[in-house]
Chain A
């Protein structure tokens, strides 16, 4: 079991989180999404910020998979191979997004970045819980996002970025799938892990609530934050199925998400 030392942590709004991984001086690291500079629409600035944010999220994904290899040396070799493969995939994603960012005139450090996923996931002391949060929650959320984003880019006449995003999507399905397979297997072997996973989900909810902006508050770029109830994501059912979420799990997720705009098989992305 991994014990995170106090010097490896940071305090954010009363929550103890894992200290940020190292970043170059050019980056301004913030501690919550509310501090990010998210412009609405698809203006040139907004497009660069989207790619910049995504690039840092993928960097975080390499770091989380890599840290799992370090923290859990006794995990089954087959699972470690999946994590090592994930390091490669996420590295290619960073390189592809950085290439595209430069093509549209962006640069590293142009916008603030946040290492939210790392700071939460790497506090967890079991591999099952980390896979449940990073791969089955955050990356599964990325499946939903990547299911709808290519269309947004095409609407503004960009064909190149959707190509990058669709390639990333297919890799992410693989990461969610192996986590689904292994979490189920690990829980079958040790039912106590269910408690660890439940505690991890509760921890995520607590941190999310602590750092969430208040309704009506303005973002750093002057946009009014919407209430969580109005932020219903599109759910990429087809790719969640590819990633081996069961129909029951998808149904449960849809119910939690508010059902509003369901992406049916074969629509966007």
Chain B
């Protein structure tokens, strides 16, 4: 059995919240990061994240929720995002975003795609598949930059592993609502 319309809207709204949060995180990091090439990388991906949030927000409207509806995730995941957003050293910002947060989010999209009815929910499927393709491009942009500037590589594997553990602490991060209305 697939997901109800309400559960789909809640999931899409939660993903939208995360994309807006990540867009703001990269935006905050642009002036607070020293390296010009990294500012450029983040600046490019601010727009990707905004477009992805926009596509998700248009889809929420088609799922009987408001246009550009965002749903804050469960507290532990929201806290994880907030703590990650205050990361200061550039290699950590890059590793955290491109090696942990994006892959973690991609895995969540894959889980959603595996659980929804791909025919009934095809508009959501298309949006998510596009986002996954874009994640691949964004990670490839990051890889190219780290190849060009190896000093941006993070050698502290423990830090990345700890962050990945926090990211994956909850498989369902949607703060489901009791009522039928998701607005």
Write the residues of chain A forming the contact surface with B, with a CB cutoff of 8 angstroms.
21-25, 55, 59, 62-63, 66-67, 69-70, 73, 77, 80-81, 84-85, 87-88, 90-92, 94-95, 98, 108, 118
Contact = CB atoms under 8 A, between A and B. Distances in A.
A63 B32 CA distance: 9
Contacts of A108: 36
Contact of A80 (B36, B44, B50): B50
B24 A90 contact: no
A257 B36 CA distance: 34
B68 A77 contact: yes
A87 B35 contact: no
A69 B46 contact: yes
B159 interface: no
A119 B41 CA distance: 23
A87 B28 contact: no
Nearest to A20: B31
Contacts of B24: 69-70, 73
Interface in B15-40: 23-24, 26-28, 30-36, 39-40
Contact of A87 (B27, B33, B36): B27
A69 B43 CA distance: 12
12 contacts: A62-B40, A63-B31, A66-B27, A80-B50, A81-B54, A84-B23, A84-B49, A84-B51, A87-B30, A91-B40, A91-B41, A108-B36
B47 interface: yes
Nearest to B35: A24
Most A CB contacts (10 A, CB to CB) among B33, B35, B36, B41 go to B36
A5 to B, nearest CB: 14
A118 B30 CA distance: 13
Contacts of B32: 21-22
Contacts, number: 85
B57 interface: yes
A80 B50 CA distance: 8
Contacts of A69: 23-24, 27, 46
Given A63-B30, A69-B23, A85-B50, A91 B39 contact: yes
Contacts of A25: 34
A66 B28 contact: yes
Contacts of B44: 87-88, 91-92
Contacts of B49: 84
Contact of B47 (A59, A73, A77, A85): A85
B148 to A, nearest CB: 12
B31 A21 contact: yes
B47 A84 contact: yes
A67 B43 contact: no
A77 B57 CA distance: 10
Contacts of A55: 36
Contacts of A73: 24
A91 B33 CA distance: 14
B31 A24 contact: no
Contacts of A87: 27, 30, 43-44, 46-47
Contact of A66 (B35, B41, B43, B51): B43
A63 B39 CA distance: 8
Report the 7 A-B pairs with minimum CB-CB distance, sorted nearest first. A91-B43, A84-B50, A88-B47, A21-B31, A66-B27, A66-B30, A69-B27
A130 to B, nearest CB: 14
Most A CB contacts (10 A, CB to CB) among B36, B40, B43 go to B43
Contact of B36 (A77, A94, A118): A94
A22 B36 contact: no
Contacts of A118: 31
A63 B34 CA distance: 12
A55 B36 CA distance: 10
